[in-house]
């Protein structure tokens, strides 16, 4: 089907019905009558020869085809809005909204300092933070709900649809209160002490053990799944358990002897922080996104490992 065969106003009406979860609310949003919205929706379904909604009583529920159209049209709207902003922005001045996907475990102090400095330097750029897991962030990019992502990953993106730039690598170390890590450390110690980790679905302590000891972890007593680096640090300092922290986060507390650092060998487990956005070969980068990317590279360069 050719695009010119479809009335874009009807697509916009369909999108409003999906967004507003009903004809009446969509009519108020569009300043139309409910009858006009219903007629537009029926005409679009006839033109496409598919049902876009299941009608369940007074409720409208997206069909599989409707869900696909809704998701793709939302992505189209986001890209069109960005394009219009760039067209109006003849001098390529950074401006507009950046929807930034962010890994929930990112240390908040470092992030707050970076965002404050960026905001002062670019007063016409607004930033909206959207937190999620690694998989949720990738989905947000692919579905057009996020413009860029800052996420920790052992490796870069392999989908081919996402452009990834590594900002820095950080070392991950095991730390705990001295009272929990007395004497010589061995893997059996982890079977006897409580542990603080991040996500039950992907225990970081398991990856640390596999990296250093090349074996399955012992049965661990994970007391709390903390999700964020800051909460994990606070819990470890309060002797709730031992856990994995970025070296630069743990270092001040190790220096003051509030935490003991465990280093099983010369090799150190690392994670990388990546800047990710949809790959658009030949397209000009958004001035706001490019400014944000350059600022992030500069802000976190001191954490980079050789």
Where is the domain boundary, 44, 71, 98? Answer: 71
Give me the number of domains the chain comprises. Answer: 3
Q: Looking at residue 10, what is its pLDDT?
A: 87
Q: What is the pTM (predicted TM-score) of this model?
A: 0.60
Same domain, 296 and 158: yes
Same domain, 145 and 110: yes
Tabulate helix, strand, coil % of the chain (nearest 5): 45, 25, 30
Between CA 130 and CA 102 the distance in angstroms is 6
Q: Looking at beta carbons, which pairs linking 111-115 to residues 24 or more positions away fall under 8 Å?
A: 113/299, 114/295, 114/296, 114/299, 114/300
Give residue-wise pLDDT tens across range 135-152: 888 889 888 899 999 888
Same domain, 48 and 99: no
What the block records as the tokens of 230 is 């800051």
Between CA 190 and CA 219 the distance in angstroms is 8
Give residue-wise pLDDT tens across range 96-107: 899 999 987 777
Residue 119: pLDDT over 80: yes
Same domain, 39 and 64: yes
Quote the strand ranges of 78-231, DSSP E: 96-103, 125-132, 148-153, 162-176, 194-197, 221-225
Q: Looking at residue 103, what is its pLDDT?
A: 82
| Burial of 84 from C-beta contacts in 10 A (0-12 / 13-18 / 19+) | exposed
- Cβ(197)–Cβ(204) below 8 Å: yes
Give residue-wise pLDDT tens across range 36-78: 888 988 888 888 888 988 887 777 888 999 888 888 888 887 7
* Domain residue limits at 194: 170-269
Same domain, 178 and 188: yes
Same domain, 164 and 278: yes
pLDDT band at 284 (very low <50, low <70, confident <90, very high): low
On average, the pLDDT of the chain sits at: 85
Same domain, 178 and 260: yes
Same domain, 204 and 89: no
Same domain, 34 and 93: no
* CATH at 101: 3.40.190.10
Q: How far is CA 68 from the centre of its chain?
A: 22
Same domain, 58 and 90: no
């Amino acid at each position: 089907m050719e695009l010119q065969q479809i009335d874009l106003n009807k697509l916009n009406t369909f999108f409003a019905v999906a967004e507003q979860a009903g004809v009446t609310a969509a009519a108020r949003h569009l300043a139309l009558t409910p009858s006009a919205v219903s007629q537009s929706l029926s005409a679009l379904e006839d033109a496409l020869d598919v049902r876009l909604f299941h009608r369940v009583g007074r409720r409208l529920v997206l069909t599989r085809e409707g869900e696909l159209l809704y998701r793709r049209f939302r992505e189209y709207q986001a890209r069109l809005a960005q394009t219009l902003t760039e067209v109006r922005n003849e001098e390529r001045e950074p401006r507009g909204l950046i929807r930034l996907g962010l890994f929930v475990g990112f240390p908040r102090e470092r992030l707050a300092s970076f965002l404050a400095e960026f905001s002062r330097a670019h007063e016409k750029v607004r930033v909206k933070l959207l937190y999620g897991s690694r998989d949720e962030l990738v989905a947000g990019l692919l579905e057009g709900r996020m413009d860029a992502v800052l996420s920790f990953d052992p490796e870069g993106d392999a989908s081919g649809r996402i452009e990834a730039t590594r900002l820095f690598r950080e070392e991950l170390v095991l730390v705990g209160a001295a009272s929990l890590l007395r004497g010589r450390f061995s893997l059996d110690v982890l079977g006897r002490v409580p542990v603080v980790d991040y996500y039950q679905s992907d225990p970081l302590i398991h990856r640390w053990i596999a990296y250093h000891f090349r074996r399955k972890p012992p049965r661990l007593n994970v007391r709390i799944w903390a999700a964020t680096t800051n909460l994990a640090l606070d819990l470890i300092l309060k002797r709730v358990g031992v856990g994995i922290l970025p070296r630069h986060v743990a270092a001040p507390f190790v220096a003051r002897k509030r935490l003991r650092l465990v280093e099983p060998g010369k090799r150190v487990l690392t994670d990388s922080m990546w800047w990710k956005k949809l790959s658009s070969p030949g397209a000009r980068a958004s001035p706001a996104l490019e400014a944000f990317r350059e600022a992030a590279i500069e802000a976190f360069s001191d954490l980079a490992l050789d």
